[in-house]
Amino acid sequence: MSFALTGQKALVTGANTGIGQAIAVALAAAGAHVIAAGRRSCAETVAAITAAGGSGAELLLDLADLDAAVAALPDDLDILVNNAGIIRRDDSVDFTQADWDAVMDVNLKAVFLLCQRFAKNALAAERGGRIVNIASLLSFQGGIRVPSYTASKHGVAGLTKIFANEWAAKGINVNAVAPGYIATNNTEALRNDADRNAAILERIPAGRWGDPEDIAGAVTFLCSPAAKYVHGTILNVDGGWLAR
């Protein structure tokens, strides 16, 4: 059983830092040529890939301009990882339509359109492929003060399942990974808040925050031949949070 990705071409969105960067480096370490895509430069990610002996390139891809982003997606990809996402916070009674639209466009509409483009290309070329979407604990829970983020991540889980239903028999594996509380720049404020940090750790059976590499390992598995019969799953990588 092989976990190698030799000869595969992958694209990871939001690969300039954090989870996306770790995924890009891990896929390259498994042998894939990785295009690190983001609205900011991914030069640091490509440098890390190259330093480890892997093959990578960067692509500026702003999901706020969806038409341009979809058009820029390479036609010959074997792997697509939809990692990029944004969040807006406010009480649901005060949440603005602008914040709703911004989050839904990047977190859900972009995922749909990029997956659609990827599948069209793969089917036209009569080849298979792997799609891994990054979901969330809020694909299963409600959260607080993040209505559009919660709705978008529930939607990502649903899209993952319908794509698997339609494309599994055509050789395209579509799955998702739902990260738990991961130690990244985005969660630094939570980790620095002693009370919030303690409350979070108390709920995690593993007793620690996750590392970006924990997510990267799960994504690499789902992209590999070892996961050839895995379709439509939402893999929780949360230290046991949802089991508590």
- Taking only the tens place, the pLDDT of each residue in 144-169 is 999 999 999 999 999 999 999 999 99
pLDDT at 1: 73
- Taking only the tens place, the pLDDT of each residue in 122-142 is 999 999 999 999 999 999 999
CATH 3.60.21.10 fits 9-243, yes or no: no
Confidence of residue 228 (pLDDT cuts 50, 70, 90): very high
pLDDT over 90 percentage in the chain:
98
- Taking only the tens place, the pLDDT of each residue in 163-199 is 999 999 999 999 999 999 999 988 898 899 999 999 9
Nearest to 114 by CA among 77, 164, 150: 77
pLDDT at 189: 87
Could you list the beta-strand ranges (E) of the chain.
Answer: 9-13, 33-38, 55-60, 79-82, 129-134, 172-179, 234-237
Query: Among 149, 167, 221, 241, which one carries the catalytic annotation?
Result: 149
Q: Which two tokens stand for residue 160?
A: 């993952």
Section 90-112 average pLDDT: 98
Section 100-113 average pLDDT: 98
Section 50-63 average pLDDT: 97
- 149 flagged as catalytic: yes
Which residues touch 56 (CB under 8 Å, ≥6 apart)?
24, 28, 33, 34, 35, 36, 45, 46, 49, 50
For residues 63-99, one letter each, b for 16 or more C-beta atoms within 10 angstroms of the residue's C-beta and e for the rest, the string is: beebeebbeebeeebbbbbbbbbbbbeeeeeebeeeb
Provide the 10 A C-beta neighbour count for residue 133: 26
Q: Which two tokens stand for residue 166?
A: 């339609």
